[in-house]
Amino acid sequence: DSGVTQTPKHLITATGQRVTLRCSPRSGDLSVYWYQQSLDQGLQFLIQYYNGEERAKGNILERFSAQQFPDLHSELNLSSLELGDSALYFCASSVGGSGAYNEQFFGPGTRLTVL
Amino acid sequence: AQSVSQHNHHVILSEAASLELGCNYSYGGTVNLFWYVQYPGQHLQLLLKYFSGDPLVKGIKGFEAEFIKSKFSFNLRKPSVQWSDTAEYFCAVNPNNAGNMLTFGGGTRLMVKP
């Protein structure tokens, strides 16, 4: 157990819908990262938040957005869902967010299936 | 484009066989290098990491990796695999000028036959 929790574990929805994935970082960690793992794209970095502010952006679609709340948990919002959005979405957390590398600890993931 | 390549997508070995998984990256500057493992149904776990110093790094569960700067490679090795090593293995790179972001390779699925 890494200490990073994600809910829900599984999510099944239809095309065009909107979902919210939730992540709680390890106690004391200020950074949260979101990754998408799909069969065709592999494991891709989406976005990073540090202490409530966006710190880095990767291959995140405009239909996707994220935020980090004052209690440091984060939510990833996926809208206008397409079949290709079906994937495993991982959250990771670290103590810091830049400068010397801070080890990331990964959560168990949320498996999203879009039908 | 900057990338991380893992050449073996699927590897099948018998127990006690030796393992080497290849990883190459295309970043020109200084990088931090990692190998992660994902056991079936579990989250990603860090196996080992290289930041600087001795290019041969030892990780958990008997794994080691060698950084060869001239070849832009960071291959993972284990002298004798066990059935419990069945998992997916990911190489990842953090360029020193890229904050805390990780770029992952495509992964290698290892199956160890008992």
Rounded to the nearest integer, the mean pLDDT of chain B is 92
Least confidently predicted of A7-21, A86-100, B55-69: A86-100
Q: What gap in Å lies between CA B111 and CA B114, rounded to an integer?
A: 10
pLDDT of residue B30: 86
Question: A43 forms bridges with which residues in the sheet?
Answer: A37
Considering only the beta carbons, identify the residue of A42, A56, A90 that sits closest to B101. Answer: A56
Asked if residue A40 has pLDDT above 90, the reply is: no
Asked if residue B33 has pLDDT above 70, the reply is: yes
Asked if residue B62 has pLDDT above 70, the reply is: yes
pLDDT of residue B15: 96
pLDDT of residue B100: 82
Asked if residue A39 has pLDDT above 70, the reply is: yes
Q: What gap in Å lies between CA B37 and CA B45, rounded to an integer?
A: 5
Give residue ranges of B with CB < 8 Å to any A CB.
32, 36, 42-46, 49, 51, 90, 94, 98-107
Give residue ranges of A with CB < 8 Å to any B CB.
2, 4, 31, 33, 35, 42-45, 48, 55-56, 58, 90, 92, 94, 96-98, 101-104, 106-109
Q: What gap in Å lies between CA B76 and CA B74, rounded to an integer?
A: 7
Asked if residue B108 has pLDDT above 90, the reply is: yes
pLDDT of residue B2: 66
Measured between alpha carbons, how far is residue B5 from residues A72, B87, B103 in Å? 33, 18, 10
Considering only the beta carbons, identify the residue of B43, B90, B99 that sits closest to A43. Answer: B90
**Closest Cα partner for B79 from B67, B61, B62?**
B62
- Partner-chain contact B100 A2, CB within 8 Å: no
Compute the count of residue pairs across chains A and B with CB atoms less than 8 Å apart.
56
B83-109 average pLDDT score? 90
Asked if residue B8 has pLDDT above 90, the reply is: no
pLDDT of residue B41: 83
Least confidently predicted of A10-14, A24-28, A98-102, B105-109: A98-102
Portion of chain B with pLDDT greater than 90, in percent: 77
pLDDT-derived band at A102 (thresholds 50, 70, 90) equals confident
Q: What is the 8-class DSSP label of residue A84?
A: G
Residue A14 has a CB neighbour count (10 Å cut-off) of 10
A36-47 average pLDDT score? 89
pLDDT of residue B23: 96
Portion of chain A with pLDDT greater than 70, in percent: 97
Rounded to the nearest integer, the mean pLDDT of chain A is 93
- A103: tokens are 């080890």
pLDDT of residue B1: 60
Name the closest residue on chain B to residue A59, using Cα atoms.
B103
pLDDT of residue A99: 66
Considering only the beta carbons, identify the residue of A31, A43, A98 that sits closest to B104. Answer: A43
Label residue A42 left, alpha or beta by phi (over 0 means left) and psi (-120 to 50 means alpha).
left
In sequence order, the 6+-apart residues with CB closer than 8 A to the CB of A92 are A4, A32, A33, A35, A104, A105, A106, A107, B44
Least confidently predicted of A74-88, A92-106, B35-49: A92-106
Considering only the beta carbons, identify the residue of B46, B101, B105 that sits closest to A48. Answer: B101
